[in-house]
With several copies, the nearest count.
Chain A
């Protein structure tokens, strides 16, 4: 019988690229990857040459070559922003199987710079296929142009089906901004970091530019440059690095559809299945979680996901953020980095969730610097969920502190 892989591996270090956010002088996806890998190895006190497994959404082989390493395990799972949660899941499985001891999960994406440079934002492969069902019968012929134009349909349906309101979801953006104001690296930290930074109100969200009704621009994530990497190591090695371990207690992944045409219930995602798998592996449940990192490509993504993770009743996802519950000082911290909404979001946000969860649970949340109040919480357990595609694919991790 295969063994339960719970706690067989840990995230032992996390780091970002040298610069993140709106990098005005420009950068490339490859540089962001390499900077993050160098920084995470420096933090852990290892050489990139010690990496045995390489996990990235694209061109893992290219990264290995660039680093001059000859990996024993290569994974290029690329299903959107949740891919990084899955990479951690897969790395743990490879470690539990005895194939490798140390893996890197890496992300580099020049979402902002590529707009200026015309391409090379993500290291993407492949092109479209005119005969894919989604190309004939999906959004393209009818003027749907990107994730916002699809996701908006889910919010309309949620309001219809559950009686939720625009205000309920706008409050998610407000609470998330409060965390960004504690993170000096957040794009929307303050008026100094961005003219549109600093505090916002529900009314500000409702009054902000309408992009796709019912999504205003403040319901929608940023599009930045960002690189990040985490190291995953076996339980035997986990305490041998300069940085402390954060344990992978549970992991799960699932998919409900690819194109939104095949989404049965527009107010539910596979995060229910992926989180149930993660909780089961961990022997824990939503009530055991002390904080959450929830993919917030849009306020509606976060709201629905809160329900799927078992953190609220069905139809009441936004209530997780109500009355300051998920805000700084609240009972249940959520998206303590400021989220994809106000911290940084390069297109695939899952790596930022991992890095922040690692920092929170290892007690190394990086601020409190510059004399600012810190965003470090006392949480010892976290549920971390990534959502990819068009509310399509999800990966959920249950992480715990080293005690």
Chain B
């Protein structure tokens, strides 16, 4: 935790708290509409698919697949010391998509990273209250 030098998200107590509470326990909590049953990401107070306000949180598998990626050869601040690193959009097994800095890949050789590769979530403790999710290729 003392080592975490990246920008730390500010949890929003009105909408996203269940996600961050789950993160502290190493669980991926996702919002799901009880009306149309679809998952959406980022968390909302109204379902973007059917506009219902009945949203529940559930523990997801923490698994997904690379939708697309890039390798950041230039960056600023603490991330500047990590170049090159891969970033990716992750298709969640339960639906919708998250952004991440990708682990378990060789960013020096971007062409070795495979779209569709299976990834699993892990959490880094960034502060007392915030655990930041990362995704790692496990294929």
Question: Is A326 an interface position by the 8 A CB rule?
Answer: no
A66 touching B44 by the CB < 8 A rule?
yes
Known contacts A47-B51, A136-B42, A138-B99; decide if A28 and B75 are in contact (CB<8 Å).
no
In the bound complex, residues from chain B placing their C-beta under 8 Å from that of A155 are: 70
Chain B interface helix/strand/loop/mixed:
loop
Question: Is B53 an interface position by the 8 A CB rule?
Answer: yes
Question: Is A67 an interface position by the 8 A CB rule?
Answer: yes
In the bound complex, residues from chain B placing their C-beta under 8 Å from that of A68 are: 48-49
Question: How many of chain B's residues touch chain A, expressed as a range?
Answer: 35 or more
A49 touching B8 by the CB < 8 A rule?
no
In the bound complex, residues from chain B placing their C-beta under 8 Å from that of A48 are: 46, 51
Count of interface residues, chain A, beta-carbon cutoff 8 Å: 48
Most chain B beta carbons < 10 A, residue from A48, A134, A211:
A211
Question: Is A27 an interface position by the 8 A CB rule?
Answer: yes
Residues of chain B from 30 to 76 with CB closer than 8 A to chain A in the complex: 41-46, 48-49, 51, 53, 67-76
Q: Determine how close the nearest CB of chain A comes to the CB of B47; give it in whole angstroms.
A: 8
Known contacts A67-B46, A139-B87; decide if A212 and B11 are in contact (CB<8 Å).
no
CA of A290 to CA of B23 in the docked complex: distance in angstroms?
Answer: 55
B45 touching A160 by the CB < 8 A rule?
no
In the bound complex, residues from chain A placing their C-beta under 8 Å from that of B95 are: none
B42 touching A133 by the CB < 8 A rule?
yes
A143 touching B6 by the CB < 8 A rule?
yes
CA of A266 to CA of B45 in the docked complex: distance in angstroms?
Answer: 26
Known contacts A141-B8, A142-B100, A149-B87; decide if A31 and B14 are in contact (CB<8 Å).
yes
CA of A139 to CA of B6 in the docked complex: distance in angstroms?
Answer: 12
Q: Determine how close the nearest CB of chain A comes to the CB of B35; give it in whole angstroms.
A: 12
B9 touching A213 by the CB < 8 A rule?
no
Residues of chain A from 131 to 172 with CB closer than 8 A to chain B in the complex: 131, 133-145, 148-149, 152-157, 160
Task: Mark contacts of B72-89 with chain A using CB atoms, 8 A cut-off: 1 yes-contact digit, 0 otherwise.
Answer: 111110010010110111
B98 touching A131 by the CB < 8 A rule?
no
Contact of B72 among A145, A154, A260 (CB under 8 A): A145
Question: Is A130 an interface position by the 8 A CB rule?
Answer: yes
Q: Determine how close the nearest CB of chain B comes to the CB of A5; give it in whole angstroms.
A: 30
CA of A48 to CA of B47 in the docked complex: distance in angstroms?
Answer: 11
Q: Determine how close the nearest CB of chain B comes to the CB of A120; give it in whole angstroms.
A: 8
B9 touching A141 by the CB < 8 A rule?
yes
Q: Determine how close the nearest CB of chain A comes to the CB of B94; give it in whole angstroms.
A: 15
B68 touching A266 by the CB < 8 A rule?
yes
Q: Determine how close the nearest CB of chain A comes to the CB of B97; give it in whole angstroms.
A: 6
B10 touching A213 by the CB < 8 A rule?
no
Question: Is A368 an interface position by the 8 A CB rule?
Answer: no
Question: Is B125 an interface position by the 8 A CB rule?
Answer: no
B68 touching A157 by the CB < 8 A rule?
yes
Residues of chain B from 1 to 23 with CB closer than 8 A to chain A in the complex: 6-16
Contact of B14 among A27, A38, A211 (CB under 8 A): A27
In the bound complex, residues from chain A placing their C-beta under 8 Å from that of B7 are: 140-141
CB-nearest residue of chain B relative to A25? B14
Question: Is A214 an interface position by the 8 A CB rule?
Answer: yes
User: Which 4 A-B pairs give the minimum distances between C-beta atoms?
Assistant: A68-B48, A143-B79, A152-B70, A213-B71
Q: Which residues of A contact B (CB under 8 A)?
A: 26-28, 31, 34-35, 38, 41, 47-49, 66-68, 130-131, 133-145, 148-149, 152-157, 160, 210-215, 259-261, 266
30 examples of A-B residue contacts, CB within 8 angstroms: A26-B13, A26-B14, A28-B15, A31-B14, A31-B45, A34-B44, A34-B46, A38-B53, A47-B51, A130-B10, A131-B10, A131-B12, A131-B14, A135-B10, A136-B42, A137-B9, A137-B99, A143-B82, A143-B87, A148-B74, A149-B70, A149-B72, A153-B69, A153-B87, A154-B68, A156-B68, A156-B115, A160-B68, A211-B74, A261-B41
